Amino acid sequence: MAVPISYSFHNLWKRRLTTILTVSGMALVVFVFAAVLMMAAGLQKTLVETGSSDNVVIVRKGSTSEVMSGIERNSASIVEMLPQVAIDAEGLRLVAKESVVLIALQKRGAEKTASHSNVVVRGVQLQSLPLRPQVKIVAGRMFRMGSSEVIVGNSIAKGFQGVGLQGTLNWGMRAWTVVGIFDAGNTGFSSEIWGDVDQVMQAFRRAVYSSLIFKLQNPDDFSAAKTSLESDPRLTLEAKRETRYYLDQSEMMAKFLRILGMSLTIIFSIGAIIGAMITMYSAVANRTAEIGTLRALGFRRRNILIAFLVESLLLGFIGGCVGLFFASFMQFITISTVNFQTFSELAFKFTLTRGIFLESMFFALIMGLTGGVLPALRASRLKIVDALRAV
């Protein structure tokens, strides 16, 4: 017969201070663990949602981001004529030639202390909008083609100075007026500034486009388009599905965050496991007589072992729940930082996924179990006579 679970539960309740301290140590570890993983997941989710799998991004061979890439006008015309490019209702080809540069903008805050960061300026064509259905104007209006007007993503409008509606930006010896603010949901476009590609290229004295984006007529045509582009001797270009392209951009940073999170929590968990071990050892020591009584009543060694393991698992479980409870509030937080790989600002939300939830809970239970194994073994090995004699 097993020792009832309520026995373990009552023991934890009886010594609340100790339980609270042990649980809070574990909860903190779980919190840090979950928060860092949520950060990596949020970054990846944002960049994955930025791309759509029907779209293809074309950049110069070997360049890892649009900023580094350059596509000559004549190469661009060759790509435009690919048979795999989709055609819209008006018979126009769904292909956009874009120019991407970085500009340094000052973040909001005190004039002296606010830091600068690199923001993406994307020169777009009319066709860019149907290619990115996520982008919606939420304030003001769309810029007019052929003018020095720009629209700004909402994350940038929130975080930087002078980019609110009617604000002016100065670059390329011109003043650019912000005429609209757009919301691109949880995607990288929310951290960009958009203007007319020809105006942007002229202002930055760029002779070449950065990238080409087109929609596939048929989503399965990607490999055909890729082969015909990459085997064309006139071109030194590389084609990637948009989803793949943005996923690649998140890889390094997400990996960095994951390694950071893992190594931190492994070190921290040693502390929490020791905490659980101390608690459980003293639980065993204080209850030696009780254990003797239980054994005398007919409970087996195995039952005692399980009872103490359950108790320490309960500790881990409560720690995990508390840690996850607080971590789930992190979902309301958006952070904005520079993605090392593209060297540009990107805003993203902490995202709690099912996987992270399960991993954190599993981790918490493992911590409880590891802390409880040795004390539980000691408890189960006590001799009845010795145990009963203890005061």
Partner 1 sequence: MMLLKILFRNAFHNKLRSGLTILGIAVAILAFWLLRTVINSWYSGVEAASTTRLVTRNAISIIFTLPISYQEKIRQVEGVKIVSYGNWFGGIYIDEKNFFANFCVEPRTYFELYPEFVLDPLQKKAFLADRKGFVAGRKLAAKYGWKPGDTVTLKGTIYPGNWDFVLRGIYHGRDKTVDETQFFFHWAYLDETMKMTTPRRSGQVGFYMIGVARPDIAAETAIAIDKVFKNSLAETLTETEKAFNLGFIAMSEAIVTAIQMVSFVVIIIIMAVVANTMAMTTRERTGDYAIMKTLGFGAKEITILIFGESLVITLTGSLIGMLLTFPAAKVFGQSLATFFPVFLVSEKTLYYDLLAAFLIAFLAAIIPTRHAIRIRIADGLRRIG
Q: Applying CB under 8 A, which residues contact partner 1?
A: 17-18, 21-22, 24-25, 28-29, 31-32, 36, 39, 60-64, 67-68, 101-104, 115-118, 171-173, 204-205, 207, 236, 252, 260, 264, 267-268, 270-272, 274-275, 277-279, 281-282, 286, 335-338, 340, 343, 345, 391
Burial 6-23 (b: 16+ CB within 10 A, else e): eebeebbeeeeebbeebb
Rounded Cα–Cα distance for residues 324 and 330 (Å) = 10
Nearer to partner 1, 85 or 257 (CB): 257
Smallest gap, in angstroms, from Cβ of residue 282 to partner 1? Answer: 5
Q: Which amino acid is at 112?
A: K
- What are the strands, taking DSSP E only, across 4-94? 55-60
Q: Which residue number, 34 or 85, has a Cβ lying nearer to partner 1?
A: 34
Token code pair at residue 329: 């509030």
Q: What is the smallest separation between the CB atom of 127 and partner 1, expressed in angstroms? A: 25
Provide the minimum distance between the beta carbon of 227 and partner 1 in the complex, in angstroms, as a whole number: 21
Q: Which is nearer to partner 1, 205 or 234 (by Cβ)?
A: 205
Minimum distance from residue 301 beta carbon to partner 1 (Å): 21
Calpha distance 39→342 (Å, rounded):
18
Nearest to 133 by CA among 90, 189, 70: 189
Residue 138 C-beta: closest distance to partner 1, Å:
25
Amino acid at the residue 347? A
Tell me the C-alpha distance between 320 and 308, whole Å.
18
C-alpha distances in Å from residue 384, one per residue of 23, 196, 224, 285:
31, 85, 77, 14
140 or 323: CB nearest partner 1 = 323
Two tokens at 70?
């350059």
Shortest distance in whole angstroms from residue 113 CB to partner 1 = 10
Q: Which is nearer to partner 1, 260 or 296 (CB)?
A: 260
- In angstroms, rounded to a whole number, what is the distance separating the alpha carbons of residues 42 and 62? 27
Closer CB to partner 1, 4 or 271, in the complex = 271
